[in-house]
């Protein structure tokens, strides 16, 4: 559990520089997991060493996986195959990481041993029924608090059958958990979803050799096909880049170049949204690394206008919507975010948190049941706000302050280590230009 701390952020007159954001969190999680389930050695470069990914790494070490770290952003994992994991001798602590817990449910539900997953006070409040229910339909035996909906979770693994699952929500974590469970058993498992959620699992599982097919509306995997160790290069995290995208757009006289950012089309909704608002974001040097599309992003300060955001765009930008609401506060006109009820069950209720904090700073913003309505163009004032222990809220508020009229004190900021180690130092670096 991170210690509490606070930061005071001061407005700036321009952001300049060339920066590299940390490795993609979603891809880093999956690289550790799939390398551990593969046969043979994998080398992972560009790994995010945030607290969430370290929780995943420690989980697999507790399952008997050998991993060495020859450099800060490099990891070598000796995989043991689909049947090579060992029963843990203690409870597995997933920290603050919902990705760790939900995907581990899919992996461990198929393993022929007993395991228990827990997490910090925030993770233990988050809904786990969304993965427990489909896994239980495959024969999984998972028990949890609050009518099998919250951690800690006790898993008596093994004996799963293949399934067809129609997910009521577009969730990469649900989809991945079901595919990972099905991959370890007999037959073909298929997941259907209402909108396309991020497809990092499908891309990387194919890269490791899984017999997996994506199709409009879902994905299917054939079981008992062994994965093979690979060289993986993790691109920069678009969710981390989003803070600097918005900062560069809203602070006058700014020019930023972000190198090696992942632009997976299931994740790049924030780029599309900001461009629709009038933001100058240019994609340079587009290429592919380890099955993932990558580019350098050139950002110039822009005059933004309010837009409507909803529908299929939401799963492609769900984690970036807090900082999008900051962009909306600086845009001319009204921005409405809908179909984003998922924001209410993240590390905190991100709709309530952003409305309270931006409102405290003078923004005209109101919560909707499934989103927010922001009337932009009103200069933000200084003050004191809290992150509510949520890394994305903390960083979004820091970005908002850069274009405000006075400094802002943000409480509980150590949580940024969850996904973006070095965020504050990088912010100072570009503010100095």
- Write out the chain's pLDDT in tens, 433 residues: 455 699 999 999 999 999 999 999 999 999 999 999 999 999 999 999 989 999 999 999 999 999 999 988 899 999 999 999 999 999 999 999 999 999 999 999 999 999 999 999 989 999 999 999 999 999 999 999 999 999 999 999 999 999 999 999 989 999 999 999 999 999 999 999 998 899 999 999 999 999 999 999 999 999 999 999 999 999 999 999 999 999 999 999 999 999 999 999 999 999 999 999 999 999 999 999 888 999 999 999 999 999 999 999 999 999 999 999 999 999 999 999 999 999 998 889 999 999 999 999 999 999 999 999 999 999 999 999 999 999 999 999 999 999 999 999 999 999 998 889 899 999 999 998 6
- Residue 293 sits at φ, ψ, to 5 deg, of -70, 140
Active site residue 253: no
pTM for the model: 0.89
Select from 198, 233, 268 the last residue of a domain: 233
- Of 52, 93, 199, 319, which residue is the catalytic one? 319
- Assign residue 423 the CATH number of its domain: 3.65.10.10
Statement to judge: residues 217 and 301 lie in one domain: no
d(CA 68, CA 84): 18
DSSP-assigned beta bridge partners for residue 410 = 7, 385
Structural domain range at position 180:
25-233
Statement to judge: residues 54 and 183 lie in one domain: yes
Residue 380 located in a structural domain: yes
Side-chain-side CA neighbours of residue 390 (13 Å):
27
Statement to judge: residues 407 and 422 lie in one domain: yes
Statement to judge: residues 89 and 207 lie in one domain: yes
- Taking every pair of Cα atoms in the chain, the longest distance, rounded to a whole number of angstroms, is 61
- Residues with Cβ < 8 Å from 129, sequence gap 6 or more? 147, 148, 149
Statement to judge: residues 272 and 132 lie in one domain: no
- What is the reported pLDDT for 265? 95
Q: Report which secondary-structure segment, H or E, holds 189.
A: strand 188-192
Structure tokens at 319: 């984690």
Residue position matching structure tokens 């910090």 = 120
Residue 13 located in a structural domain: yes
- CA 330 to mean position of chain CA atoms: 25
Statement to judge: residues 220 and 270 lie in one domain: no
Angle between helix axes 391-402 and 423-432 (nearest 10 degrees) is: 10
Select from 217, 233, 249 the last residue of a domain: 233
Statement to judge: residues 100 and 15 lie in one domain: no
Angle between helix axes 321-330 and 350-360 (nearest 10 degrees) is: 30
Residue 261 located in a structural domain: yes
Select from 177, 201, 233 the last residue of a domain: 233
- Residue 267 sits at φ, ψ, to 5 deg, of -120, -10
Statement to judge: residues 273 and 411 lie in one domain: yes
Statement to judge: residues 218 and 314 lie in one domain: no
- What is the reported pLDDT for 1? 44
Statement to judge: residues 248 and 174 lie in one domain: no
DSSP-assigned beta bridge partners for residue 231 = 43
d(CA 254, CA 237): 21
d(CA 173, CA 128): 10
Q: Report which secondary-structure segment, H or E, holds 177.
A: helix 172-183
Residue 1 located in a structural domain: no
The DSSP bridge pattern shows strands 164-166 and 188-192 to be: parallel
- What is the reported pLDDT for 370? 97
């Amino acid at each position: 559990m991170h210690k509490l701390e606070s930061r005071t952020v001061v407005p700036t007159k321009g952001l300049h520089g060339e920066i590299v954001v940390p490795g993609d969190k979603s891809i880093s999680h999956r690289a550790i997991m799939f390398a551990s389930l593969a046969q043979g050695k994998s080398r992972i470069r560009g790994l995010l060493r945030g607290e969430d990914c370290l929780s995943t790494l420690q989980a697999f070490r507790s399952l008997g996986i050998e991993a060495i770290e020859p450099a800060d952003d490099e990891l070598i994992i000796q995989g043991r195959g689909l049947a090579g994991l060992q029963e843990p001798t203690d409870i597995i602590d997933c920290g603050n990481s919902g990705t760790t817990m939900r995907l581990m449910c899919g992996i461990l539900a198929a393993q022929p041993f007993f395991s228990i997953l827990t997490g910090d006070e925030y993770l233990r409040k988050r809904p786990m029924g969304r993965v427990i229910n489909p896994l239980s339909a495959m024969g999984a035996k998972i028990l949890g608090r609050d009518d099998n909906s919250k951690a800690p979770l006790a898993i008596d693994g093994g004996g799963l059958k293949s399934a067809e699952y129609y997910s009521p929500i577009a969730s990469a974590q649900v989809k991945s958990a079901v595919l990972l469970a099905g991959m370890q058993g007999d037959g073909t498992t298929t997941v259907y979803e209402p909108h396309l959620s991020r497809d990092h699992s499908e891309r990387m599982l194919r890269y490791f050799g899984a017999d997996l097919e994506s199709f409009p509306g879902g994905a299917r995997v054939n079981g008992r096909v062994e994965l093979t160790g690979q060289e993986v290069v993790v691109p920069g995290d678009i969710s981390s880049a989003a803070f600097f995208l918005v900062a560069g757009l809203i602070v006058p006289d700014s020019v930023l170049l972000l190198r090696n950012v992942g632009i997976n089309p299931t994740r790049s909704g924030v780029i599309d949204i900001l461009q629709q608002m009038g933001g100058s974001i240019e994609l340079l040097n587009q290429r592919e690394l380890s099955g993932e599309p990558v580019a350098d992003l050139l950002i110039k300060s822009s005059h933004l206008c309010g837009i409507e955001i909803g529908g299929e765009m939401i799963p492609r930008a769900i984690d970036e919507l807090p900082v999008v609401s900051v962009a909306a506060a600086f845009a001319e006109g009204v921005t409405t975010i809908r179909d984003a009820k998922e924001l209410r069950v993240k590390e905190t209720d991100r709709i309530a948190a952003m409305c309270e904090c931006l409102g405290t700073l003078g923004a005209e913003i109101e919560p909707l049941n499934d989103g927010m309505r922001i009337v932009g163009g009103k200069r933000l004032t200084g003050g004191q706000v809290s992150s509510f222990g949520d890394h994305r809220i903390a960083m979004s508020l820091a970005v908002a302050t850069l274009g405000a009229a006075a400094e802002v004190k943000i409480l509980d900021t150590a949580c940024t280590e969850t996904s973006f180690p070095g965020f504050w130092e990088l912010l100072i670096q570009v503010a100095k230009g």
